[in-house]
Amino acid sequence: MIASVRGTVGQVGLDRVVVEVGGVGMLVHTTPATAAGCHRGQEATLATTLVVREDSLTLYGFAGAAERDMFETVQTVSGVGPRLALAMLSVMGPDELAGALTAGDTKSLTAIPGIGAKSAQRLVLELRDKVALVHGTPAAPAPSAAPAGAGEPWREQVTEALVGLGWTGKQAGDAVERVAADAPADAEVATYLRLALRELRR
C-alpha cells in the first residue's frame, strides 16, 4: 500500500496531478479541490491509496487522511467503486459526507451523480455506524487554487470535469452557463468548478 507521496508537482489537471518521486512521475487521481491546491514546480504531499485491479494499478490522492479514509470506507458498500467514491468526495467533503450518512440525509446523497434513492438508503444503512467516528473530524481545508488565466477555456475544462464525475453533458453545460452568468470574469477554474457543483446540487 502506498499511503502517501511527496515530491515536486510535474503536471496539474482538474482531477489529477503528476508528482515526481525519486525520478518517477506518479499519476495521482484526485478531487478537483485537491488538484487545485497543487502547483507545478512546487512540492506537494498527498495522502494516497492504491487500487489494484487485474489490468491496472491506480493511485488516488487526497489533501488529508480523513478524505482518504472516507474514500476507502464508502467502497466497502457493494456497487461503490473508486470512481463513484471520488465523485462523492468531489461533491461533498469528508466531514459533510459523514454528516449526511450519520443523519440519514438521503436527499443530499442523491445529489451525487450515480447515486439514486435506493443506493442512498443502502449507503446510510451500511455506513451510518462506520462513519460515526469520522463525523465531527475537521475536514482538510480546501487548497487555494492557481489562477486560470484570461479567456473562456474554463468552460470546456469544467464541463469535462463534471462529465467525468458522472453528470450528463447537458447537465454539465447548463450548470456552466448558469455559473458564467453570475461568476466574476476573472475567477479561477477551481472557483468555477465549485460553483458549478453547487448549482448541480440544487
Select from 102, 27, 33, 99 the least CA-distant residue to 64. 33
The per-residue pLDDT for range 78-104, each reduced to its tens digit, is: 889 999 999 999 888 888 899 899 889
Local confidence band at 130 (pLDDT 50, 70, 90 cut-offs):
confident
Is CATH 1.10.150.20 correct for 69-127? yes
Is CATH 2.40.50.140 correct for 4-62? yes
For 153-200, CATH number out of 1.10.8.10, 3.30.930.10, 3.40.50.920, 3.30.1330.50 equals 1.10.8.10
Share of the chain above pLDDT 70, in %: 87
Domain boundaries in the chain? 4-62, 69-127, 153-200
Element (H, E) at 59: strand 56-62
**Helical H segments across the chain, by residue range:** 32-36, 65-74, 82-91, 94-103, 106-109, 117-127, 153-165, 169-182, 189-200
Q: What is the mean pLDDT of residues 111-126?
A: 90
